[in-house]
């Protein structure tokens, strides 16, 4: 299979997976102070919601064709772009299947954190388990370019490091970020400790640049908190791309 064909297939997969995210993003986007069950159980008009995947449309509303949450078109575009980049960096190595399976979850987490500054436990706690479970068989296949043992150790190490930061400054490092660090450590650790450090540093750099830009634009103060999850995930993507190219 040519590189172009692989990238195209990955992009199509990402687009298809992205079309399933809007409803889940709405259901998980519940502010912490309002989270009784942990997710929305009804549309904004109060009609009960069923299912987690698909478009954010309520058939019981007066205008059933109108979405009750944004992102119908943006989610597929972002997920397709992420999957295409991962395919370009990883090639036909077996870990690509793992990255493509986890990419929609990463996009979903970023969307929810941007909307309500909250990283849902069902996603953050599932991510490291899924990553390690999927990487285990990939480590047994020929042509893989990573280490499952390092992925496991990086899961624990990065989670512990973020937990220390949370203890030092709970307002600046939320506990949801600590749980997300378990998943980012698992995937970054596959390509080794330099990739773990690179992806983690990239996340902090992106977050600092964004926060600094807000301060310069006078849209935030020095103590304004920002959702850090999207920057952690973008930094992880950066680490995976570089790690995949150089492996």
How does pLDDT run across 70-119, given as a tens digit for each residue? 667 889 999 999 999 999 999 999 999 999 999 999 999 999 999 988 99
Q: Is 5 helix (H, G, I), strand (E, B) or coil?
A: helix
What pLDDT does 34 receive?
A: 66
Q: Compute the average pLDDT of residues 53-76.
A: 74
What pLDDT does 35 receive?
A: 59
How far is the C-alpha of 55 from the C-alpha of 64, rounded, in Å?
A: 11
Q: What is the token pair recorded at 224?
A: 């304004």
Query: The whole model's pTM is what?
Result: 0.92
- Provide CB contacts within 8 A for 71, sequence distance 6+: 21, 22, 25, 56, 111
How far is the C-alpha of 22 from the C-alpha of 210, rounded, in Å?
A: 25
Q: Compute the average pLDDT of residues 217-242.
A: 86
Nearest to 162 by CA among 207, 211, 98, 221: 207
b (16+ CB within 10 A) / e for 151-169: bbbbbebbbeebbebbeee
């Amino acid at each position: 299979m040519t590189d172009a064909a692989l990238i195209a297939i990955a992009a199509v997969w990402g687009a298809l997976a992205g079309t399933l995210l809007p409803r889940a993003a709405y259901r998980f986007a519940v502010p912490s102070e309002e989270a009784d069950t942990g997710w929305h159980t009804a549309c904004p008009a109060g009609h009960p919601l069923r299912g987690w995947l698909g478009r954010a449309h309520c058939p019981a509303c007066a205008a059933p064709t109108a979405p009750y949450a944004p992102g119908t078109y943006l989610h597929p575009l972002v997920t397709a772009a992420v999957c295409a980049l991962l395919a370009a960096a990883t090639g036909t190595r077996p870990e690509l299947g793992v990255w493509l399976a986890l990419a929609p979850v990463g996009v979903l987490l970023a969307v929810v954190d941007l909307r309500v500054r909250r990283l849902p436990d069902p996603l953050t706690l599932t991510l490291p388990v899924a990553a390690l479970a999927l990487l285990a068989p990939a480590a047994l296949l020929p042509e893989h370019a990573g280490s499952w043992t390092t992925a496991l150790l990086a899961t624990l190490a990065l989670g512990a490091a973020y937990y220390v930061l949370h203890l030092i400054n709970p307002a600046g490092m939320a506990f949801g970020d600590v749980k997300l660090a378990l998943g980012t450590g698992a995937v970054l650790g596959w390509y080794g400790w330099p990739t773990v450090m690179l992806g983690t540093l990239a996340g902090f750099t992106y977050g600092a640049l964004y926060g600094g830009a807000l301060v310069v634009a006078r849209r935030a103060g020095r103590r304004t908190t920002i959702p850090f999850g999207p920057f952690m995930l973008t930094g992880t993507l950066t680490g995976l791309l570089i790690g995949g190219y150089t492996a």
